[in-house]
Amino acid sequence: MKRTNCFLSYSREEENKSIHSAITELINQKKKLINYSERHNKRSFKNEIIWNYLCNRISGSSCTILLLTKDLLDYNAKKINYVKGDFLESGWVYNEICASLQNRKNNCLNALVCVICNGMKLNKIQNKLPKILKEGDNFEYITWVEYDDFLKEPYQFISDAMLKRRKQLRHSKYSIVCNLHK
């Protein structure tokens, strides 16, 4: 596997800090992975500035790793859902995933690895997934993996996602309908 720029999308809740840190550390330690995630706290900046920064990071990456946590699907679902006609009210994680899955100018479709936190099973949470992750061709082109398995073999799952992405691009099978602020 050649070097892969990875963007990590996640809910910034306190309970996710340790699992986020473990994945970030793993990416930073691997010679074939480059961490293209947000590096600086930008909470004091305007949303437009933050979004432009994130778009640049996402467009510079080729794989997005979504940390799918319990809080993201339950009490913080707003972070991964779209609010019709309102980019700023739509969740940041939704917008990051949307930007990752669009094949448009200055941004090639990213491979997507959904890392499911321990204790959650895909077949149990599938009905809680937002439309962007389960509709159309999106679901089959996502690599789904449990957190512990990802930590053991990140290259395997990233390589699988990159292979799926190449297949998706070759067949022009992406039905992403994102309402993304540009």
Mean pLDDT for each 10-residue chunk of the chain (182 residues)? 85 85 87 76 76 85 93 85 74 86 71 93 88 77 94 94 88 60 46
Helix (H) or strand (E) holding 149: helix 147-152
Q: What are the structural domains of the chain? A: 4-170 (3.40.50.450)
Q: Is 78 exposed, middle or buried (0-12, 13-18, 19+ CB in 10 A)?
A: middle
pLDDT for res 6: 92
pLDDT for res 83: 77
DSSP class of residue 12? -
Tokens 């080729």 belong to 62
Q: Is this structure's pTM higher than 0.85?
A: yes
pLDDT for res 181: 47
